[in-house]
Amino acid sequence: MREVIALDAVAHGVPEVLVAGDALDARVRWLHVSDSAGVARLLDGGELLLSTGSSWPAEPADLRRFIDELADAGLSGLVLELGTHYRYVPAVVVEAAAARDLALIVLHREVKFVTVTEAVHSRIITGQTDALRARDEVRERFTALVLRGSPADFIVHQLAQTLGAPIVLENLGYEVVAAEVPLAMEEELFTEWELRSRSAHRRSEQRRQRGAVAGADDWLIIPVEARGIRWGNLIALPGPEHAAGRMAVLEQGAIALAVGRLADGDADEWVRIGRRRLVDGLLAGRFAGVGGAAARLEAAGLPLRGAKLYGLVVSGAPVAVERADAAARALRG
């Protein structure tokens, strides 16, 4: 809606926003021009309605019902041109639109509806073309990662770079396998990670059942699965919009991880990746502090509360992983 208001064809009508807020973030799928009081039944959702209101109901109660019907039909926003029928917007229309979080804009100067229609549709089509091009670029990028045999942690890194947002890969036990998260937010994010993740999954499922779109502050969650086998989940935390669509980018990352897992055929690969990233992080001092390191270790399934910790340094000839694990178990015993 914000982009529509900024178009020259709309600006010529001297627009005034009467209901704004989050309503202006609604996505416009198409523009529909109509003065009919029964226009709601002709809408599929996502439209912007441009009208003079000449055939709208006259009674306040009927006007309120009319606005409710538009909102129920999934209208993205309403643009009303003043002068032809209304000299001012009825208070009941503003109240009803605000109650339903429906963007309401009035035009104080007469405009050619055909000019506005062409401008809005041109912007929509251009946006769709840009999105298709961006999706092709993202698909090619992650396909190349799969062909090069990139490990899961590198794919997660590339996904975070692409989306400009924190990314977490977890297994089915809600344990963090790999993550690209700013150091400053690690302690807060990973403390009680399993509970936070389960809660985010519930909210995501509730949105899916309602057919609702994720908001700007919601986590995006997508399963990593192939051939009926599910290994974990890929999570994108809030971040900037992407031309290809944030969910579309996340889907490509999940596909790359799933294909890589199938090609590798090693059930313990994710376990080794998780351990290696933790050890490398500790040795390189990449954690912001003790709290961040502890939260990250616990999120990976290594509980520290009430535990005694021992350091083990191995030097000289290479030691097999099995022997290192056996030594660690002996210390714990």
pLDDT mean over 72-93? 93
How far apart CA 10 and CA 138 sit, in angstroms, is 33
How far apart CA 63 and CA 299 sit, in angstroms, is 54
What's the confidence (pLDDT) of residue 313?
Answer: 65
Amino acid, res. 274: G
- pLDDT range class, residue 149, cuts 50, 70, 90: confident
Q: Read off φ and ψ for residue 77, nearest 5 degrees.
A: -175, 165
For residue 13, what are its two tokens?
């009508």
pTM: 0.65
Question: 211 with 148, same domain?
Answer: yes
The answer to whether residue 317 sits within a structural domain is no
Q: Read off φ and ψ for residue 10, nearest 5 degrees.
A: -80, -40
How far apart CA 321 and CA 315 sit, in angstroms, is 14
For residue 149, what are its two tokens?
């045999």
DSSP 3: H
CA distances from 221 to 109, 162, 233 (A): 45, 16, 7
How far apart CA 295 and CA 287 sit, in angstroms, is 10
The answer to whether residue 236 sits within a structural domain is yes
Specify the higher pLDDT residue, 289 or 242: 242
Question: 136 with 197, same domain?
Answer: yes
Specify the higher pLDDT residue, 47 or 320: 47
Question: 134 with 240, same domain?
Answer: yes
Question: 137 with 256, same domain?
Answer: yes
The answer to whether residue 198 sits within a structural domain is yes
Burial 148-180 (b: 16+ CB within 10 A, else e): eebbbbbbbbbbbebbebbbbbbbeebbbbbbb
Question: 72 with 192, same domain?
Answer: no
Question: 138 with 207, same domain?
Answer: yes
Question: 61 with 182, same domain?
Answer: no
The DSSP bridge pattern shows strands 47-51 and 103-107 to be unpaired
The answer to whether residue 44 sits within a structural domain is yes
Q: Which of 59, 78, 111 is the last residue of a domain?
A: 111
The answer to whether residue 298 sits within a structural domain is yes
Question: 177 with 248, same domain?
Answer: yes
CA distances from 14 to 32, 88, 107 (A): 20, 14, 6
The answer to whether residue 333 sits within a structural domain is no
DSSP 244: T
What's the confidence (pLDDT) of residue 196?
Answer: 93
Question: 151 with 289, same domain?
Answer: yes
Question: 178 with 270, same domain?
Answer: yes
Beta strands in the chain (DSSP E): 15-19, 30-33, 47-51, 77-81, 103-107, 167-171, 176-180, 220-226, 229-236
The answer to whether residue 329 sits within a structural domain is no
CATH number, domain at 67?
Answer: 3.40.1390.20
Domain count, the chain: 2
The answer to whether residue 270 sits within a structural domain is yes
How far apart CA 297 and CA 69 sit, in angstroms, is 52
CB 177 within 8 A of CB 273: yes
Question: 19 with 44, same domain?
Answer: yes
CATH number, domain at 150?
Answer: 3.30.450
Give me the domain span that covers residue 15: 2-111
What's the confidence (pLDDT) of residue 105?
Answer: 94
How far apart CA 282 and CA 276 sit, in angstroms, is 10
What's the confidence (pLDDT) of residue 322?
Answer: 65
Question: 52 with 81, same domain?
Answer: yes
Q: Read off φ and ψ for residue 84, nearest 5 degrees.
A: -70, -45
**Residue 230 C-beta-side C-alpha neighbours within 13 Å:** 10
204-230, pLDDT tens digit by residue? 998 888 776 777 788 999 999 988 889
Amino acid, res. 305: R
What's the confidence (pLDDT) of residue 303?
Answer: 75
Picking from 33-37, 92-96, 290-294, 308-312, which range would have the lowest pLDDT averaged per residue?
308-312
Three-state secondary-structure class, residue 169: strand
